[in-house]
Chain A
Amino acid sequence: MTAKTLQRKLGILGLAMLVGASACTVTGVGVGYDGEADYVGGFYEPYGYDYGGWGHGYRVGPPRGGDHGPGPGRGGGHPYRSAPPGRSMPSIPGRPRGR
């Protein structure tokens, strides 16, 4: 292999590396969400939320201050630590903005 041929091959290799590095920087490969995004704050969920079954008593809203159970977990035997007995269930913030 002549020195000229070697130089040419090294040149092609260098060019390929340069272009490759440039492409990775532009698309964010390896650093972003989905391998292409500039922003990592969106996620498509698995299809199919089912909102059936929200019958009487199925309430997900916030409590008013002072609400109490009893719920099924009261009395222990559940995987979380219950708030101490006697503490009122808190509500959402009630102070209007700017006061």
Chain B
Amino acid sequence: MVSRSRGPLAFLPRGVLVFLLAASATAPASAAFELPPIGSTTGTEHHAGKVVWADLVTPDLAAAERFYGGLFGWTFQDVHAGKTDYAVALLAGQPVGGLLQRPVPAGEHRQSAWLTFLSVSDVDAARRTALGHGAKSVSDPKTYAGRGRQAVLSDPEGAVFAVLASASGDPPDYLAEPGEWIWSALLARDAGRSAAFYQTLFGYDVFEGPSDDGAEHLVLSSDDYARASVNTLPGGSARRHPHWLNFIRVDDATEAADKAVALGGRILVEPHEDRHGGKSAVIADPAGAPIGLMEWSASQSKVEPK
């Protein structure tokens, strides 16, 4: 007599089977995480090595929104999917950055921080090059509808950064408005070696800046625009960790620093005259994430691109 198999799940009621299959089929859709483009313009142009985005990781998204909204006038577009609580920060309706809520890993004493995103046209190729020159992978490349493809790396000294191939191209080169990112600095143990690493990755031109203090101050440029500086970490620091630091343009760095304190932040570096003639300062938000403030008058810029 030939027995007819009823299948391995035959003992389960049909309703349970339908439920399991439905749950399995709908899980990917519920986990989808879609992000808006990084800019309002659409194009295919990529300015390799340009800082095009920054994401804050913070344990308290609501507190961060209150602080940055109060300080820079940002508004927020919340994005929730799966386990992720994220908000896109907007200035006058234009995206300027992202805020990601994530608990500090249990048992670890970690630093809330802004993650710097540098533009590339090919994330996977840039990642391969970086890994071949001493970088480490922090997270594998991933593509987000609207945003583009991105990956997180740490450079040979351990400074963490991200590369992004924006799906909508990069924003055009214009002078940042108050409340927008205007500058980025990498604080490194060996500025020269770090500059060489990023030059390999992004093809920067490297210029040596004045060194009144004996530290090395290098400027990375692409498309004939200064994109970032690489600076030797100041001497005498007991705890020094290489990292990127991003600056927001403000009208008055002293006023902004005072306002940051009133909103629950603190001052890390007092407002002081910087290379360009305006003042800069470094503050920490209520969760401790450092961020720079920088004054810049329009007359300080090179108006005509070459």
Contacts and interface: CB of A to CB of B under 8 A. Distances in A.
A40 B175 contact: no
B208 A71 contact: yes
B269 A54 contact: yes
B162 A41 contact: yes
Contacts of A69: 207-211
Interface residues of B, number: 117
B130 interface: no
Interface string B1-31: 0010110111110000000100110011011
B160 to A, nearest CB: 5
Interface residues of A, number: 76
Contacts of B239: 48-50
Nearest to A13: B8
Interface string B268-301: 1100101111101010000000101010101011
B234 A62 contact: no
A40 B142 contact: yes
Contacts of B3: 3
A92 B81 contact: no
A96 B241 CA distance: 35
Interface in B160-218: 160, 162, 173-177, 182-183, 185, 187, 192-193, 195-196, 199, 205-213, 215-218
Contacts of A58: 213, 215, 231, 234
Interface string A18-61: 11011001111001111011111111111111111111111111
A5 B139 CA distance: 45
Interface string B244-264: 010100000000000000000
Interface of A: 3, 7-8, 10-11, 13-15, 18-19, 21-22, 25-28, 31-34, 36-67, 69-74, 78-83, 87, 89-99
26 contacts: A25-B27, A26-B27, A31-B142, A36-B83, A41-B55, A41-B115, A44-B57, A44-B110, A46-B241, A48-B239, A49-B290, A55-B213, A58-B231, A58-B234, A60-B280, A61-B274, A69-B207, A79-B193, A82-B207, A83-B206, A83-B207, A90-B219, A90-B224, A90-B225, A94-B300, A96-B298
Given A59-B212, A60-B185, A93-B305, 18 more contacts: A43-B113, A45-B160, A45-B243, A49-B290, A53-B234, A57-B212, A61-B275, A64-B300, A65-B302, A71-B209, A79-B196, A81-B206, A82-B208, A89-B209, A90-B224, A92-B182, A93-B175, A93-B302
